[in-house]
């Protein structure tokens, strides 16, 4: 007897089939069989669970007022994300084996979705031990200061990249340059972290990297940066693709993020580069409404986004603006290949994580979302949220109700327990 049978699933190539699951994996794609639960998917767009390879879940002893693994993972599942990769600019920073172990324990206790944890790469950090302890990747490595992280120098960067390459670990880079005084509104914030500086930082990292090393560049803000990052992989975010400085009042800290939102003309060019960016990730930074209300210079940079990552793009799939295959590549196939994680999908032996999206467009409202931060930069935008989410072959979210299934930790490939 199978666990779940999804009937009449339309595959990205246009064929319709049944997908059978057992023991957390897809076991059969073809004509149906008997199962504990049968779900007719004729009315749904079915996508493999998304992997958001760039979230800041916060939590820990010092940050639990903001977001924690309980609220953040509910937000993830409610948006069709079944695996998140947490970034290391936590408080305290994730640069010791003890901090990594504590972070994994915290997520094992509270997370409702699968998770992986990156380690920070700063001079003096025990990179070999962190990789053996299960760090998924090193980074994001900050080339310029950002929320909760100082930048590192070019000399330090060269040494760290050599060490990471010798370990065979993935590395992710936050490429930015900061110049002049900090901004006092969105335009001056953008000028203090210019688009050309992002491109220079990308080139610098490429020059410093040992021959043959693969780099992954996080949250690029312009099409020029995406092109400069080739042949390495790059990630784009919904906020840089869909929002620009003009969408916020000039001094509104909610639009403050690093790298900054650009002009609407730049945003349109970035969206046109959709096919050239390998990964779509949220950079979910769930600073609270109160923190964002502290005035422009004091407010932290960053905006929430894990729950809206995929839902913002479903209307574009339904209208034919983007293909379902391109969304699947950027939200599950490619992040998994960059990190070396087995991908969820429709074929036998693939992980049985799926999200079922109705074909009716709704509107994003902060009050309907699950992050503790209490706001969204996408208020009022069109989206489609999944009505059913399957994790490891079990329904874990249905019409807004969550069940704890079997969320797992995905250690990196250096893990030696």
Residues marked as catalytic: 283
Q: Which of 71, 111, 146, 206 binds ligand DOR (CB under 6 A)?
A: 146
Q: Which of 35, 48, 56, 83 binds ligand DOR (CB under 6 A)?
A: 56
Q: Which residue in the shown chain puts its C-beta closest to ligand DOR?
A: 302
C-beta of 301 vs 334, nearer to ligand DOR: 301
- Please report how close the Cβ of residue 219 comes to ligand DOR at its closest, in angstroms: 7
- Please report how close the Cβ of residue 258 comes to ligand DOR at its closest, in angstroms: 4
Binding segment for ligand DOR (CB under 6 A), chosen from 222-230, 241-249, 300-308, 328-336, is 300-308
Q: 165 to 224, contacts with ligand DOR by CB under 6 A?
A: 174
Report the alpha-carbon distance of residue 153 to residue 31 in Å, rounded: 58
Q: Which of 301, 371, 376, 388 binds ligand DOR (CB under 6 A)?
A: 301
Q: What does the block give as tokens for 368?
A: 């309907």
C-beta of 261 vs 328, nearer to ligand DOR: 261
Q: 359 to 378, contacts with ligand DOR by CB under 6 A?
A: none
Q: Which of 6, 167, 205, 285 binds ligand DOR (CB under 6 A)?
A: 285
- Please report how close the Cβ of residue 59 comes to ligand DOR at its closest, in angstroms: 13
Q: What does the block give as tokens for 189?
A: 């914030």
User: What is the DSSP code string of 54-121?
Assistant: EE---BHHHHTTT--HHHHHHHHHHTTEEEEEE-S--SS-S-SHHHHHHHHHHHHHH-SSEEEE-B--
- Please report how close the Cβ of residue 416 comes to ligand DOR at its closest, in angstroms: 29
Tell me how many residues contact ligand DOR (CB under 6 A). Answer: 12
Of 321, 295, 179, the C-alpha closest to 241 is 321
Q: Which of 170, 255, 302, 414 binds ligand DOR (CB under 6 A)?
A: 302
Strand order in the sheet with 354-358: 44-48, 354-358, 388-391, 394-398, 401-402
- Please report how close the Cβ of residue 52 comes to ligand DOR at its closest, in angstroms: 14
- Please report how close the Cβ of residue 300 comes to ligand DOR at its closest, in angstroms: 6
In 89-228, which ranges are E strands?
114-117, 138-142, 171-174, 216-217
Phi and psi at 46, nearest 5°, equal: -105, 125
C-beta of 63 vs 227, nearer to ligand DOR: 63
CB proximity list for 165: less than 8 A, separation 6 or greater? 209, 210, 212, 213
Draw the binding track, 115-134, toward ligand DOR (x: CB under 6 A; -: no contact).
--------------------
Q: 251 to 280, contacts with ligand DOR by CB under 6 A?
A: 257-258
Q: Which of 147, 184, 263, 326 binds ligand DOR (CB under 6 A)?
A: 147
- The crossing angle, in degrees rounded to 10, of helices 97-110 and 69-78 is 60
Residue 284 DSSP label: B
Q: Is 90 in the site for ligand DOR (CB under 6 A)?
A: no
Strand partners, 83: 51, 114
Binding segment for ligand DOR (CB under 6 A), chosen from 153-161, 299-307, 379-387, 392-400, is 299-307
Q: Are 260 and 248 in contact (CB under 8 A)?
A: no
Q: Is 89 in the site for ligand DOR (CB under 6 A)?
A: yes
Q: Put residue 80 in one of left, alpha, beta given phi > 0 → left and psi -120 to 50 → alpha.
A: left
Q: Are 361 and 384 in contact (CB under 8 A)?
A: yes
- The crossing angle, in degrees rounded to 10, of helices 154-167 and 195-208 is 50
Residue 350 DSSP label: S
- Please report how close the Cβ of residue 88 comes to ligand DOR at its closest, in angstroms: 10
Q: Is 341 in the site for ligand DOR (CB under 6 A)?
A: no
Binding stretches for ligand DOR (CB under 6 A): 56, 89, 146-148, 174, 257-258, 285, 300-302
């Amino acid at each position: 007897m199978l666990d779940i049978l999804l009937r009449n699933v339309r595959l990205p190539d246009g064929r319709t089939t049944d997908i059978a699951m057992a023991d957390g994996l897809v076991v059969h794609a073809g004509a149906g069989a008997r199962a504990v639960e049968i779900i007719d998917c004729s009315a749904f767009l079915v996508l493999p669970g998304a992997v958001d390879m760039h979230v800041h879940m916060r939590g820990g002893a010092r940050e639990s007022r903001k977001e924690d693994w309980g609220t953040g993972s509910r937000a993830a599942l409610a948006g069709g994300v079944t695996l998140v990769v947490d970034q290391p600019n936590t408080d305290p920073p994730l640069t010791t084996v003890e901090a990594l172990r504590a972070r994994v324990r915290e997520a094992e206790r509270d997370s409702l979705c699968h998770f992986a944890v990156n380690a920070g790469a700063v001079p003096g950090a025990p990179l070999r031990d962190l990789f053996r302890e299960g760090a998924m990747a090193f980074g994001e490595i900050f080339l310029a200061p950002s929320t909760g992280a100082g930048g590192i120098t070019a000399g330090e960067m060269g040494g760290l990249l050599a060490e990471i390459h010798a370990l065979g670990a993935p590395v992710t880079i936050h490429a930015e340059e900061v110049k002049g005084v900090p901004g006092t509104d969105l335009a001056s914030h953008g000028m203090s972290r210019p688009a050309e500086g992002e491109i220079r930082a990308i080139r610098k990292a490429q020059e410093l990297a040992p021959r043959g090393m693969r780099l992954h560049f996080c949250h690029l803000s312009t099409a020029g940066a995406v092109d400069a990052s080739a042949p390495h992989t790059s990630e784009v975010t919904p906020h840089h693709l869909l929002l620009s400085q003009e969408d916020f009042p000039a001094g509104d800290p909610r639009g403050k993020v690093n790298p900054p939102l650009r002009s609407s003309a730049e945003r349109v060019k970035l969206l046109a580069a959709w096919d050239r960016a390998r990964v779509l990730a949220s950079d979910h930074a769930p600073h609270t409404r109160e923190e964002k209300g502290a005035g422009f210079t004091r407010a932290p940079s960053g905006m929430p986004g894990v729950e809206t990552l995929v839902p913002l793009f479903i209307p574009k799939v339904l209208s034919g603006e983007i293909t379902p295959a391109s969304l699947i590549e950027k939200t599950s196939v490619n992040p998994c290949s960059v990190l070396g994680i087995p991908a969820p999908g429709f074929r036998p032996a693939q992980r049985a994580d799926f999200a079922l999206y109705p074909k009716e467009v709704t509107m994003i409202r902060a009050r309907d979302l699950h992050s503790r931060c209490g706001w969204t930069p996408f208020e009022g935008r069109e989206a489609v949220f999944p009505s059913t989410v399957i994790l490891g072959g079990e329904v874990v979210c249905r019409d807004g109700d969550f069940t704890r299934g079997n969320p797992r930790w995905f250690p990196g490939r250096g893990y030696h327990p």
